[in-house]
Amino acid sequence: MSDSVFTFTGARVVDPASGRDQAANVVVDGDRIASVGRASRGLAIPAEGLVLAPGLVDLHVHLREPGGEDAETVESGTTAAAAGGYTAVCPMANTQPVADHAGVIEQVLRLAREAAMCDVFPVGAVTRGLAGEELAELGAMAAVGVRCFSDDGHPVQSARVMRRALAYARTWDAIVCNHAEERTLTGGAQMHEGAQSDLLGLTGWPREAEESMVARDLILARGLGARLHVPHVSTAETVALIRAAKADRIRVTAEATPHHFTLTDDEVSTYDPVYKVNPPLRLKTDVEAVREGLADGTIDAIATDHAPHPPEEKEREWAAAPCGMLGLETALAVTITELVRPGVLTLSEAVAALSTKPARSRDMVGHGGPIAAGTPANLVLFDPEQRWTVTARSSHSRSRNTPFAGRQLWGRVRHTLLRGRFTVRDGEPLRPAHEDGMGDGA
Ligand code: DOR
């Protein structure tokens, strides 16, 4: 608990949960917001020209612990998250051992209690060992707080298994998130299938592999009244399918990554494996469709799919390199640069996609706003006008595989607060920061 009292004075408070987008003083007293308005108490932290928003929430990260500590740990990954303005992240289950039972979930929660710089809401596996055959211990994981199940990186190939998973998850009103990739269409694929893959001589990952599995999953979810989450939407037709499903009242949510709403398969012509990712970078028309999906609310959340890989594995020839990109430290700035400044999203809509909507979709009490008296002070203060150049070596991740290195972006995190305590001050992560574990009572 923090016992200090301070006031962000004159910040532009952007809080989609309350609809507020106006300048105010925000007083923080201990771990909570004391008031939002004209009052000021304690130390004054000038915030004129800066944006104060609810701390960001990422539905899709890879923290790699246990088992992949050469790439990332709970400590390093959540430090990168805090540096990027996040106060909550959802790590995927493709660790070693796999998070397919309550023991591994509890291990991740313990690591988070000891070392995390933000709250950690683990995702449990759908199937044992991510093998796609037998269901994992969904009930035991739900009992320790898991709200979402995913074999991310591995599609649930069998419709029978997927249907059972959706049916069981519905018991706890939990969500199944299926990595949408019909593997019979993508075996050995290296990049998006199209003119570029022909030109470069790399095996293609056709768009239909994603779309056909999303269509199947939507039909299964509809039949059961179950909750489906579509991760890393990458094609125009996937956006259209989700849009139609929402109109049909299917209980579906969806996320898009900064790389899928920014980069195209043109990048692959460099053969730089930093651009190798699953699902792959697609065409400009897909990028546009994903942006439209975010603008009209078809896609609920911006999630990073932060996927660290150590240089000795990632920096190999294209065919041998693993898929995945860093994202936590650049997502806010890429969103401001690529979506807010060009007018695709308002700043409030961007904050909704980066914080409020993902927090609500997983019932993360105390995250995503509202910024109001009595609520936990989980906040980010950022300068939307500050320009900076991304460098891989300054990342707080243990890995270096950012596809945005060398890019100039707008929008820089100044401070991040977790329950009133600075996890990042003047852009620099501060340790130690954490006392509680998963979630927080409002
Ligand atoms: O590019 C990816 N990397 N996509 C995934 O689905 C998994 C992830 C990873 O774990 O590295």
DSSP 8-55: EEEEEEEETTTTEEEEEEEEEETTEEEEEES---SEEEE-TT-EEEEP
Residue 23 is part of which domain span? 5-52+374-427
225 vs 269: CA distance, rounded Å: 43
CATH number of the domain where residue 180 is located: 3.20.20.140
Active site residue 305: yes
Q: Mean of the per-residue pLDDT values for the chain?
A: 96
3-class state of residue 245 by DSSP: helix
Residue nearest to atom 4 of ligand 1 (CA): 278
Atom number, ligand 1, closest to the C-alpha of residue 231: 6
The candidate with the shortest Cα–Cα distance to 90, out of 113, 64, 123, is 123
Q: Is the CB of 185 under 6 A from ligand 1?
A: no
Q: If you measure from the C-alpha of residue 278 to the centroid of ligand 1, how many angstroms do you get, rounded to a whole number?
A: 6
Q: Whose CA is nearest to atom 3 of ligand 1?
A: 324
Q: Which of 312, 328, 361 corresponds to the end of one domain?
A: 361
Q: How far apart are CA 123 and CA 260, in angstroms?
A: 22
Q: Taking a C-beta distance cutoff of 8 angstroms, is the pair 421, 31 a contact?
A: yes
Same domain, 420 and 307: no
Cα 128 to chain centroid distance, Å, stands at 24
Same domain, 75 and 163: yes
pLDDT mean values, one per 10 residues, the chain (442 residues): 82 98 98 98 98 99 98 98 98 98 98 96 98 98 98 97 98 98 94 97 97 98 98 98 98 99 98 98 98 98 98 97 98 99 98 98 97 98 98 97 98 98 98 48 32
Question: With a threshold of 0.85, does the pTM exceed it?
Answer: yes
412, 333 contact by CB (below 8 A): yes
The pLDDT tens digits of the residues spanning 97-145 come to 999 999 999 999 999 999 999 999 999 999 999 999 999 999 999 999 9
For 93-143, give the DSSP string.
S-SSS-S-SHHHHHHHHHHHHHH-SSEE-PPBPSBGGG-SSSB--HHHHHH
Contacts of 249 (CB under 8 A, 6+ apart): none
Whether 343 and 247 map to the same domain: the answer is yes
- Asked if residue 271 and residue 133 are part of one domain, the reply reads yes
Taking the C-alpha atoms of residue 126 and residue 347, their distance in angstroms, rounded to an integer, is 35
Domain annotation covers residue 235: yes
Q: Do 149 and 16 sit in the same domain of this protein?
A: no
* Active-site residue identified among 305, 363, 436, 440: 305
Task: Let me know: does 236 contact 211? Beta carbons within 8 Å.
Answer: no
Task: Quick: pLDDT tens for 324-357.
Answer: 999 999 999 999 999 999 999 999 999 999 999 9
Q: From 232, 277, 281, 401, give the residue whose CB has the most ligand 1 atoms within 8 Å, as the site to mutate.
A: 277
**Residue nearest to ligand 1 atom 7, measured at CA:** 153
Q: pLDDT at position 160, please?
A: 98
d(CA 123, CA 118) in angstroms, rounded, equals 15
